[in-house]
Each structure stands twice: as structure tokens, then as C-alpha cells.
Structure 1
Amino acid sequence: MKTKIFILAAMSFSMVGFAQKTEIKAAEKALKGGDAASAKSSLEAAAGSISGADAKLQAQYYYLRGKVYTDLAKKGDDTAFETAISSFQKADEVEKSSGKVKYGKLITQELSALAGEMVNSAVEDNKDKKFKEAGEKLYMSYKLSPRDTIYLYYAASSAVNGGNYEQALTYYNELKEVGYDGGGIEYKATNVATGEQEVMDKVQRDLMVKSGTYKDPVDEKAPSKKAEIVKNMALIYTQLGQDDKALNAYKEARASNPKDVNLILNEANLHYKLGDKEKFKALMAEAATVAPDNPDLHYNIGVINMEQGNLEEAREAYRRALEINPGYTNAQLNLSTTYVNEGNGLIDEMNALGNSRADIARYDELKQQKDDLFQEGANVLEEALKTNPDNQGILTQLKNIYGAMGDNENFMRLKKLLGE
């Protein structure tokens, strides 16, 4: 009786193994026929008992599963990429554990090709503004090919573009940990099908050009991206309200790139946000020495000085901005405003005077100073109108100045120009 039970068990085990082989063969046949969906169904039928199969059959199963899901991914199923990768890796693990390697080189080739497929898919995702998906695919590509740290860099960029800041920080921190620089030579070629220029490693680029699918190979020297990475991390920390971490990131970035004007400006803006206007002012002045021909720098220096009541310093900054860019409308308006503000500052003193002869004399003196300042403000804008005669902001501010001066003739002239 015991012997019969043993034979039944053996036969049952044999039947299960036979069923697995049948399903795997059916999956192979379906895949060869281009029917990945049917191949997937056949493999799912064998999945429940595959862990009890021998190493050879398990390796065959997982390798085939990797190919099936690769085919599904190529046909648009983005969720299939991860399953394809894990399947190939499982096949490799099973073979190495058993000591019998059949698919080793094939698995390496499949994973390498899969990394390329995911990069291409990520490019399309970025074009379609599917930044989260693009970042995840680029990160998986990097994990498959860790030497290609450029994929991790692009994964972080996609995460930033999609507003996935926490994920971007994870990628940027990983870039820092592996010492990514991003400098050196970038090997580029133009994809004949899309017309887009793409970056590849040199061997791949040369092979693609030779095949005719790419053209116009270019070798370009790429600057280090370390400062950019730390800057982006600082911007993300700022976005997340982690200002202390942002300041530390700027400090680190500027230590190796003290003349990077964008780093200086971003740090300055953070200090401004935190209410440290003196530090903002100092950094803006530093930036102006690094990039003396940048009109925006001088304009912003003017703004902060004007806010702090340093009108002469503000005027100097606005004039410098206008020397560089004579048509800088905001600089013209603000330069005019410095004179108006100074003139308005005299009104309180005028109103506080009494009716004595001395007070009347002082009133007349202050009024003349006020009118002279208003006239200076008007002169700035009259000059601006010569090159920008239809600017509504300039016309409106000039009209208001003449109205405050009691210059009815010019006031009516400006009203007419404004179409009022």
C-alpha cells in the first residue's frame, strides 16, 4: 500500500513538470509568432509551480519571461519594463546558483538592449511631458548600466521638470555619492528618423553612424556638471522650504565655483527671501563684479538700494543698467521714481510748517526742491519716450508726475497720447 502511494506521488510530480514544459513551449511558439499576449498567458499558467522545477527549467522560464515582457514593453506597455528586467536577473541568478550557464551572454545582451529601449522610451515621454515616467525609466536604465551615470543625471532632470522634487533629490544625492562629474567628451550624432541629436558612448555612436541610422557625428567637450547639480539641489531645498540645507548647498557649490554668477544670484535671492537684504545687496554687488555687463544685475542692485532708501546708490545702479541696455524700461521707470520718491519725502516737512515769514520762505525753498526733483523724474521719462513712444507705463507715470507738478499743458498732452 505504501509503495502504491509513492508511485502516485512520483507520477503527480512528473505530470506537473510535463505541464510546465508544455506551457513554456507554447509561450515560445506564441512569442515567435509575434503574439506576446498569448505567450504571457502561457507563462502565467506555469508560474504557480515553477519554483519547484529544476534549475534548467527555471532558467528557461525566467529568460523567456524576460523576452515576453520586453516585447510587451516595446509595444507600449510601460509597466512591462520592470518585469522584463527582474525576469532576466532571476534567470541569471538561477543559472549562477546551479553552476550551469546557458543564457549568461544572452541575458547580458538582452539587458543592454533593454536599457537602450527604456532610454528611447524616456525620450518620448519627455517630449509628451510625462516626466515622472521618463525619470523612472532613465533610473532603471542607469541601474542596468551603472557606468552610464548620464542616465541618472537625466533621470534627475526629468524629475525636476515634472515637479517630483523629492525624487530628484534622491537622484542628485546618488550622483554626488558616485562622484559624477559630467565633464569630458560627449559623443553625439543625429538620429536620421527623428532629426534629434542624441548623446551616446563612443562605440555605440560610431556603430550607429556606420549602420546609417545616425549621421553627423560630433565630439563636444562637456563642462563639469557638479556645480549645476548642487545648485539644483539648493533650488529644490528652497522649493521644499528647507532653507538651511539650501544655504549649505550654495556654500558647497560656490567653494568650487566662486565665479559662477548664477550661483551667486540664486544664493542672493534666497537671502532676500529670508529677509537678509544686506547679504542680498553684498552678493548682488559681487555678482556685478563677476558679470559687469549684465543689466539685470545692476537693475536688481538698484531695486534693493531703493527699498533701503539709498537713492543715490540706486540711481547709479539704474544708470549703469541703462548704459548697457538703453531700452530697459523698468530701469527707466525706477530711475524716475527715485526722484519722485525723494520729492514726496519733502512734502511732510512742507505741511508741518507754520505761517511765519521764515516758515513761508522755507516752504517755498522746499517746494522748489520738490518741483526740481519731479522735473528730473519727468526728464528721465521724456528721454525714454524718444525710443519707446508707445509704452503705456512710461506715459502713465509721466502724466502723473506732470499732474503732481501742476503742469496742465504737459498733463493734457500725456492724456491725449494715452487716448484718455
Structure 2
Amino acid sequence: MKSKNVMLASALLISVATFAQKDQLKAAEKALKKGNIQEVESQLNQAESLISAASDAEKAQYYFLRETVYMDAVDKNQNVDKNLALAAKAAQEVVAIERKAGKLEYTTEVLKTISKIKDRLINGAIADSKEEKFKEGASKLNEAYLLDKKDTLNLYYASSFQLNAKDYDGALKSLQELRRLGFTGKSKTFVATSAVTDKEEAFPSKEERDRMVKLKTHVKPRVDVVPSKQGEIYKNISLILIQQKNIDEAKKVIAEARVLNPNDSSLAITEANLYLESKDFAMYKKLISEILAKNPNDADLLFNLGVISANAKNKEEAEGYYKRAIDVNPKYMNAYINLVALRLEAETPINAEMNKLGNSDKDNKRYAVLKEEKKRIYQGVIPFLEKAHGIDPKNEDIANTLLSVYGALEMSAEKKALKEKLGK
């Protein structure tokens, strides 16, 4: 008998709580109609502890009111980033609950708010990027993507922000999702110039643009093509996996990328570098040979191969690639700069040894030998420095390095002429 009384008492408690919750939600609705947001929030706070046991309709009502409170704070510029994120989550709850229940009482209104939130998040991310607040911007772009998963471009930009923020774990998660979705980012925009404003305008379709051209309201029709970003996505996944020492997975990803993008030389270089990292020199040489056979006169390719070889401490091979890049494009400044830097690296161990020498006859003789070695290094870089300076006289690094080399070789006349030319 006592047991039945306890069960009856519990049922009464639940019933009373349910009535209280309904009253609070009704009170919150009334307060919203009166524009009393503070009262809305107060009533919602009272109902919060009971919402898990509420009906779907009441849950949807609760989250709709929550989203309204958060957006009111956003509109008043109160802790915008936090409230915008909370509004987005509340709005998503409404849509998910009502779609599952099959009753769309608040969804139509909430979808309008979602569009507004999405725009605010994207604009906020753009503002963050201008201040180099990439972590904060990435969070906003991820929120925008979660609000509208059809707009995968936001996830792509979020991954770029995460890379800039050096959030490699977050970037990898975003990039892997893009890979799973088969995202390419490839698109066409149909553009024509307004005959009235003389400004280019984009159209939703080719047919619409062509119709306006026929009506002579627009002229100069053209198509803006955004190339596929798939190769870049796979490459970035591979680079992060390499950094994480997950070489086997990186090889799988880059091999998949090569199949999808067989003509992407940057992917081919990444794959070659991958095998170099894992010290599979035979495979590295094979891939490099294939790359060069397809693009023997690609200066950028040759330069990048030089960088890879330099990073692998294969200086002779790196120098060969830089020289070949210069042969293809005699004005390739970065090839000159890297070639000079590569050669000047040889003076580091020489300087270290010279600094350790004493004043004995033996040490003095060794010092003289090392000094001649440095002299040969400086003489070897002068032609490249002079050529680079001729190509870009405003490049201060090149000019200052050339001045230093002239000074070290006691080429006073050349140094004086260059200083006068630079106005120093």
C-alpha cells in the first residue's frame, strides 16, 4: 500500500512539474510578444531543468525562444561571438526536433534566422581574417557550415583558416570531411557587363545571362571558371599526415589524389617528397624522372625540386635544379636567391672552425687555407648576385648581400659604385 502511495506521489510531482513548465513557456511567449526579452530569459531559465522530459512541441518552443534571446543579445552587440554560436545551436535544435516530429511550427521562422546567423558568421570570419585571428574565424566558418551543410565552401575556408592558425588537428578533420564528401570547389560563374553602369555582374545561369545580352542590357559575356581544389585538399591532408609521422596513410591519400588529378604536378612533387621523407630513394628517383619527363621546361617544377633536394641535404642536386630553372627562365629571382643561399651555407662550418683556431703557426696556416675557401665561395656567388640585382634592383636582401660580398673580397670600387647606385 505504501509503495502505491509513493508511486502516486511521484506521478503527481511529474504532473505538477509539467504544468509549471508549460506555464513558464507560455509566460515566455507572452513576454516575447511584449518585447520583454529579460522576462523571456527568466522564464526559460526556470523551465530549463525540466526540458529533457518535455514533449517535442515544448522542446521546439523552448529552443525557439532561446534562439530569440541569443539573437537579441547579438543585435545589441552583447558578447556577439558567444551568443551567435549559441543562437546557431538553438536554431539547429528547433529544426532537428520539428523535422523528426513532422510538425513545422517554428522551422520556417528559424530558417530565416539561420540565414541571418550564417551571414553574420561569415562576415565575422572575414573580419577576423583581416586581423589574422584565424582560430576565431575558423570557428565561425565551421558554425556556418553546420548550419547549412550544403554550403561546403564554408568548410573548405574553415580548413584554410585552421591551417593559418596552425591548428593541424582541426584542419585535418575538416579536410578529411571534404575528402569524404568529394568536394571539388569547381564552379562556373556567368558574367556580363552592364550597359548602364559599365560594371560586371554575375548571373545565376548561362541562360539568364544570355537573355540579358540579347536584350542589350548587358555586353561582353564571359565565364569565370574556378578550378578544382581537390588536389590542394589531398595535398594538405598528406602534408599534415607526414607531419604527424603517419607516412603510410599519407602515401594512400596522395596515391588516391594522383589518380583523381593525374596532371597536377604539385601532387606529383608531394608524392616524390613523401618517398624521400621515408628514405625510399629508388621510388623517389623514379617519380622525379616521371615528373621531369612530362614537364622538362617547367621552371616552377625545377625550382620546387631544388627546394626538396636542399631540404634533403642533397646540395649538389639542388644546385643543379636551381640552375636548370634559371636556364628555362633567366629572370627566376627565387632560383637565384636559393642558389646563393645554398652556396653561402658552406661558410657556416668554415666560420665555426676559424673561430676555434688559436695563434700558433699551425693554426695560422689553417686560418689562411680557410680564408681562401671563403674567398672562393664569395667569388662563386657574385655572378648570381649581380644577375639577380640586375633583374630586381629594389631587392634589398640581394643588394645588401652583394655589398657584403664585395666588402669581404675587398672589391672597393665595385662596392662604392653599388652604394652610390643604391643611394647609400
Change (3 A) 1:200 1:131: farther
Cα drift, residue 177 of structure 1: 1.5
Cα drift, residue 43 of structure 1: 0.8
Query: Is 1:263 the equivalent of 2:267?
Result: yes
Cα drift, residue 412 of structure 1: 5.4
Cα drift, residue 44 of structure 1: 0.3
Query: Is 1:114 the equivalent of 2:122?
Result: no
Distance in 1 between residues matched to 2:73 and 2:145, nearest whole Å:
21
Matches within 5 A, 1:185-264: 185-186=188-189, 220-264=224-268
Choose which of 115, 123, 126 in structure 1 pairs with 2:126. Answer: 123
Query: Is 1:297 the equivalent of 2:302?
Result: yes
State the one-letter code of the partner of 1:103. Answer: Y
| Structure-1 residue corresponding to 2:42 | 41
Unaligned runs of 5+ in 2: 192-199, 210-220, 348-372, 420-424
Cα drift, residue 320 of structure 1: 0.8
Distance in 1 between residues matched to 2:101 and 2:262, nearest whole Å:
56
> Do the aligned partners of 2:44 and 2:66 also contact (CA within 8 Å) in 1?
yes
Deviations 1:303-326 (A, max 9, x none): 959946579957962751563448
Distance in 2 between residues matched to 1:315 and 1:97, nearest whole Å:
62
Distance in 1 between residues matched to 2:128 and 2:67, nearest whole Å:
23
Change (3 A) 1:325 1:102: closer
Distance in 2 between residues matched to 1:231 and 1:21, nearest whole Å:
54
Query: Is 1:393 the equivalent of 2:401?
Result: yes
Cα drift, residue 78 of structure 1: 2.7
Secondary structure, aligned partner of 1:221: strand
Cα drift, residue 233 of structure 1: 0.8
State the one-letter code of the partner of 1:391. Answer: A
Q: Which of 274-283 and 225-234 deviates more?
A: 274-283
| Structure-1 residue corresponding to 2:324 | 317
> Do the aligned partners of 1:336 and 1:380 also contact (CA within 8 Å) in 2?
no
State the one-letter code of the partner of 2:67. Answer: G
Change (3 A) 1:227 1:58: closer
Change (3 A) 1:73 1:269: farther
Change (3 A) 1:155 1:186: farther
> Do the aligned partners of 1:302 and 1:316 also contact (CA within 8 Å) in 2?
no
Cα drift, residue 200 of structure 1: 12
Change (3 A) 1:396 1:269: farther
Matches within 5 A, 1:6-45: 19-28=20-29, 30-31=31-32, 36-45=37-46
Query: Is 1:330 the equivalent of 2:334?
Result: no
Cα drift, residue 227 of structure 1: 0.9
Secondary structure, aligned partner of 2:188: strand
The higher radius of gyration belongs to 1
Query: Is 1:161 the equivalent of 2:146?
Result: no
Q: Which of 295-304 and 100-109 deviates more?
A: 295-304
Cα drift, residue 271 of structure 1: 4.8
Q: Which of 166-175 and 263-272 deviates more?
A: 263-272
Q: Which of 33-42 and 238-247 deviates more?
A: 33-42
Cα drift, residue 10 of structure 1: 9.8
Unaligned runs of 5+ in 1: 189-196, 207-216, 341-369, 404-409
TM-score normalised to the size of structure 1?
0.62
| Structure-1 residue corresponding to 2:137 | 134
| Structure-1 residue corresponding to 2:358 | none
Q: Which of 116-125 and 38-47 deviates more?
A: 116-125
CA RMSD in angstroms, aligned pairs only = 5.2
Distance in 1 between residues matched to 2:186 and 2:70, nearest whole Å:
36
> Do the aligned partners of 2:40 and 2:65 also contact (CA within 8 Å) in 1?
no
> Do the aligned partners of 1:28 and 1:39 also contact (CA within 8 Å) in 2?
yes
- State the identity %: 30
Distance in 2 between residues matched to 1:302 and 1:82, nearest whole Å:
43
Cα drift, residue 396 of structure 1: 4.5
> Do the aligned partners of 1:261 and 1:287 also contact (CA within 8 Å) in 2?
yes
Change (3 A) 1:227 1:37: farther
Secondary structure, aligned partner of 1:118: helix
Distance in 1 between residues matched to 2:171 and 2:342, nearest whole Å:
42
| Structure-2 residue corresponding to 1:67 | 68
State the one-letter code of the partner of 1:147. Answer: K
Cα drift, residue 231 of structure 1: 1.0
Choose which of 95, 101, 106 in structure 2 pairs with 1:103. Answer: 106
Distance in 1 between residues matched to 2:89 and 2:12, nearest whole Å:
33
